[in-house]
Chain A
Amino acid sequence: MNPYEIRKLFPILDQEVNGQPLVYLDSAATSQKPAAVIEAIEQYYRGYNSNVHRGVHTLGTKATDAYEGAREKVRKFIHASSTEEIIFTRGTTTSLNTVARSYGGANVKEGDEIVISYMEHHSNIIPWQQLAKDKGAVLKYIPLQEDGTISLDDARATITEATKIVSIMQVSNVLGVINPVKEIAKIAHEHGAIMVVDGAQSTPHLKVDVRDLDCDFFAFSGHKMVGPTGIGVLYGKKELLEKMEPVEFGGEMIDFVGLYESTWKELPWKFEGGTPIIAGAIGLGAAIDFLEEIGLDHIERHEHRLAAYAIEKMSAVEGLTIYGPKDAEKRAGVVTFNIDDVHPHDVATVLDADGIAVRAGHHCAQPLMKWLDVSSTARASFYLYNTEEDIDKLVSGLVKTKEYFSNVF
């Protein structure tokens, strides 16, 4: 399916912003939703809204089937062995916090090491900072190469026998680089550490196989992969999840409640305290159906093509700096840049006047901004509904931005 056909499936894209057709280049922040996802959520609320796992009545059964059906779709989508390993959460942040608090709380001791990298999103930094502070553990950063990639030699030099947890993003939300998480997982395991993968930016864009990666935990969000906000997933290996304590206690997650002691449900429900995010899970299931119908291979190829095209066209704009590797094969559809003498907020405001939505700021990656030695950047991110025409509009918008700022005097 060509991107022009795909666009038609996303109602929001058919609108004007500031009198210009919308060019949405902020999918790394959140993706747009196809009609199929919006309708799946609407059908649930209109047709069979009910709580799950408790009603004997018909609607309750229907809702439970849809909710658990979505879990099976997620399992297949990321190639997990069993639905016991698929926990629904509020998003990547909650997933990573669950690992840090539950697994980290029980297994990290004073003097142990936790290893992350300089390019991590705040959600894959702060849970580990807090854990390290609580336990007196050491937080270590794998440095970056000149082009913003991680070298396995650096990973080997940073991960030691004292390392208990390694947590790395599979795709950078700023540099767009695809990290060798499978190889890093191998190094982690050789040293007896577990491997956590932040898949927020990879799951929407490339085929994820958690068994092939051999990671111990994998976290992602629904809203970046054409699903709704408020739903995410924590995958964990069953043998680890079985030994872990829940981080939230209450309804839904219990087996038997006494006055002073209670026991938990089996996996995955012991980690899903309270009424779950039923509509969100159903929406995520619909998003997975949608992406699979188009094909992740197709999406990945399309984004490499767009990244290559964007890098080529944007490099021709004088005074424009692109961060990260120039080789499009090494990156997903994210291009972060700055224009000389124009602050990224001003770039974003001028582009917005042209109907073009880009992100400006630190992208929740302040340590990486420090490494790049910039306070903020502008970012264009692409998805399956973007076209080369969108990039042409971006580039002409950037040229106009430069002109505008040199003319305002």
Chain B
Amino acid sequence: MSFDNLDTLYRQVIMDHYKKPRNKGMLEDGSMTIDMNNPTCGDRIRLTMKIEAGKVSDVKFDGDGCSISMSSASMMTQAIKGKDIQEALAMSDTFSLMIQGKEYDDSIDLGDIEALQGVSKFPARIKCATLAWKAMEKGLKE
């Protein structure tokens, strides 16, 4: 088996977020709850966000899914916490381009999330990576 190829997908930082998810759980005083699932595979996410003064002041996620979907959710919550709504949405656009293997504006710092770049080489897994981001976008655009 070519583990080299797999290693581009399962980066250390991804597995770290999978096994030790950040911001896992539910916000008791969250101002919005978004449920989303991936109907083709059964992955589920519940995102709770607290929006104050145009900022995502707090965010948590709960859910059930593969290493890619859950680590992506963990990284996403870490990335948007404390950000303006517009900043968070811009990050989501950048992420979407990156995950599809398209050119993206690398002036936006995605931090750990850049580890998910390898997913673009596994087309069947792109939907896993985008689930949490879609939930976030849905919440912030409402």
For residue A376, CB closer than 8 A to chain B, the reply is yes
Contact for B41 among A19, A345, A350, A354, CB less than 8 A: A345
| Total A residues in contact with B, Cβ cutoff 8 Å | 23
Q: Could you tell me the distance between the alpha carbons of A344 and B41 in the complex, rounded to whole angstroms?
A: 10
Q: Are A349 and B41 in contact (CB under 8 A)?
A: no
Q: Which of A22-76 contact B (CB under 8 A)?
A: none
For residue B40, CB closer than 8 A to chain A, the reply is yes
Q: Are B42 and A369 in contact (CB under 8 A)?
A: yes
Give the residues in chain A near B12, CB-CB below 8 Å. Answer: 408-409
Q: Mark A343-379, 1 if CB is under 8 A from B, else 0.
A: 1111001100110000011100010010000011000
Q: A376 with B2: in contact, given A343-B65, A343-B66, A346-B67 (CB under 8 Å)?
A: no
For residue A18, CB closer than 8 A to chain B, the reply is yes
A390 CB to nearest chain B CB (Å): 16
A98 CB to nearest chain B CB (Å): 24
Q: Mark A297-312, 1 if CB is under 8 A from B, else 0.
A: 0000000000000000
B99 CB to nearest chain A CB (Å): 15
A121 CB to nearest chain B CB (Å): 14
Q: A349 with B6: in contact, given A375-B42, A408-B15 (CB under 8 Å)?
A: yes
Q: Which of B50-85 contact A (CB under 8 A)?
A: 64-69
Q: Please list 26 pairs of residues, one from A and one from B, whose beta carbons are closer than 8 Å in the complex, sorted by A's number.
A: A18-B5, A19-B2, A343-B67, A345-B41, A345-B68, A345-B69, A345-B125, A346-B10, A346-B66, A346-B67, A346-B68, A350-B1, A353-B3, A353-B5, A353-B6, A354-B1, A360-B41, A361-B41, A362-B41, A362-B42, A375-B64, A376-B41, A397-B1, A408-B15, A409-B12, A409-B19
- Which chain B residues have a beta carbon within 8 Å of chain A's beta carbons? 1-3, 5-6, 9-10, 12, 15-16, 19, 40-44, 64-69, 122, 124-125, 128
